[in-house]
Structures are given as C-alpha cells and as structure tokens.
Amino acid sequence: MGGTVVVTRDETMAALRRVGLGRGDVLFVHNSLKAFGYVVGGPEAVVDALLFTVGPGGHVVVPTFTSSRAADYEGAGQPFDPATSRSRLGIIGETLRLRPNAHRSLHPTKSVAAIGPRAAELVAGAEKGTDFDIDGPFGRLAAWGAWVVFLGTRIGSNTTLHAVEDWLDLPYMATCAALVRSGDEVVRVTEYRAPVGHRAFYGGEHQPFNRALLATGRVRRTHLNRTLIRAVPAKEMVRFALDGERARPGSMLCDDPTCEFCTVGRAGCVEKRAAILDRIRMVEARGLAT
C-alpha cells in the first residue's frame, strides 16, 4: 500500500493496553477512524479491539450524537429515531451502534450507544431532560469509574466537560427543543439544556485550558503508529473541571475579551457563584469526582 500506514486489530488492542485499559473497564470512546490510516478490517476491527480489551465483563460506550433540534427541522435536521438516526460523530460509533447487542440511549441529540453486561442500565433515562443529566448515562459513566478515551481525536472533543457544565447548571447553557419520532408522528421535546456557544477547551492542545489539563499528569498517552491515544479516568476529568470552576467562575469559557458569548457567560457564573458552589458540593457528595 505504498506509504499508507496499516493498523491491525491486535496492534490496536496492544496500544489500548499500553495506555492502561483492560478487562472489566468501562470506556467512553471519542474516536476518529481517519486518524488511523488503513485499518485491516475497517471500523469493525476497531470495535472488536475495544471490546476484546475490556472483555465480557467490561463496557464500551460511544457518543452517537445527532442533529435533531427543532430549529434544524426545516432543512438538514430530522426527528430522532433511536433505531435509524445515524450518528454524526463517525463510523466507529455508528458501527458499534449497529451491533445487535448494542443499546442506545433515547436523548434526541446527545445519545450514546453501549455494549456490555449492564449496557441497558447504563443508557436508561436519557430521554427525561437535559443533554447530560446527572441521573442518566453521563452521570453513570463517572459513577461507574469509566475511562474517557480519545482514540485519534483532539482532547478538545471533551463531552465530559459539557456534562459537568450541565450538572452545575451553569447559566450559559442554552435551552433547546428537539424532535423525536414516535411511530408515524413527530413529537416535539422541549426544555433540555444544550452546550451551544464557545468554550476554552475547543480546539487543540495549544489552548490554555487543554495545556493545563495535560499538565496535571492525569491524562495517559501512547501512540499507535501515527495515531495518538489518550485516556483519563472520568472522575479525574470531573475533578479538574470542578476545581477550575470553584477557583474561577466560568473557567471553561475563553478569555478573549472580544468573545461576547464567553464574556457574558463568565459574568453570569460570577453572579450565580453561590448556587454553583452548592452544585459542586452536590456532585462531590455523589462520588462523581476523585
């Protein structure tokens, strides 16, 4: 294949083990097949590598997010159907979602798919409210001691931080509506919080927020040929976010004075500081941070 980088399933498994992942683990995997080069067996081989790494007692969870906002319906947006709505986050997640033993959560925009002995329990309840409800899949990922894995993706693709924003009810989270298909009808679902707007962690490792996270030493890393793999315990990621918000309101927003969204959002966090500190203590009391 000339200069094409070739990756096998067994090489992928070896890299996952090098970064510290193993049998019985719960993995929440941000992923990019394009980052691998040529994978022998394609996305099925990557899914197999993840599942074989954690074994029959472990769980592999992937984001299968869709664009089902009511505002998008006239055009590209489509009502969410958990059986047929494709993930917009890549072929690895879509491949896992289509496995016959996969379970998918019912949130119309921020669904996840999971395989494992308690997968149905993990994904339950996500249709009830916010994108990242603390009593839904994202809360369970932290409670169950999951690893957040960045498989060829930038560390800025960090949904766990959005979950913390939701749990703290940060004032810059937006209220949106979504559309869900029920049989032949389209039912509008309203009043869920969503992470619209800018963030300090969007982008690459050069962003100050991401540099600070990497500097903590919490994030393990290895290479699979040209592919960078990172993994961090979800509870440690939550701890980093909580400590940042406690020390500086709006810490997950950028410092650019010309960024109106982040400037206004930070002012709102300062105004609601007492309530946010109460929410931080609630998250800690539930054991979701180290």
Write phi, then psi, for 145 (nearest 5 degrees).
70, 40
Residue 247: count of CB within 10 angstroms of its CB: 8
How buried is 126 (Cβ within 10 angstroms: 0-12 exposed, 13-18 middle, 19+ buried)? buried
CB 169 within 8 Å of CB 209:
no
Q: How far apart are CA 168 and CA 280, in angstroms?
A: 6
Asked, for residue 214, whether it belongs to a domain, the answer is: yes
Q: What are the backbone angles phi and psi of residue 253, rounded to the nearest 5°?
A: -100, 160
Residue 81 lies in a domain: yes
Is residue 267 in some structural domain?
A: yes
Structural domain count, the chain: 1
Nearest residue to 227 (alpha-carbon basis) of 48, 26, 30, 95: 30
CB of 159 closer than 8 Å to CB of 109 = no
Place of tokens 């400037």: 263
| C-alpha distances in Å from residue 51, one per residue of 89, 125, 216 | 19, 24, 29
Tokens representing 156? Answer: 């800025």
Residues of the chain with pLDDT under 50: 73-76
Write out the residue range of the structural domain in which residue 17 sits: 6-284
In a domain, 187, yes or no: yes
What local confidence, expressed as pLDDT, does residue 79 receive? Answer: 79
Query: How is residue 121 written in tokens?
Result: 């329990």
Beta carbons of 173 and 166 less than 8 angstroms apart: yes
CA dist 250 and 261 (Å) reads 11
Asked whether residue 289 is domain-assigned, the answer is no
Q: What is the pLDDT of residue 76?
A: 47
The pLDDT score that the predictor gives to residue 6 is 86
Return d(Cα 80, Cα 109) in angstroms, integer. 8
Q: What is the pLDDT of residue 241?
A: 97
Q: How far is the first Cα of the chain from the last one, in angstroms, to the nearest whole number? A: 46
Q: What is the structure's pLDDT at 68?
A: 59
Question: 190: exposed, middle or buried (C-beta count within 10 Å: 0-12, 13-18, 19+)?
Answer: exposed
Give the per-residue pLDDT at 70: 53
d(CA 131, CA 136) in angstroms, rounded, equals 9
Q: pTM surpassing 0.75?
A: yes
Residue 290 lies in a domain: no
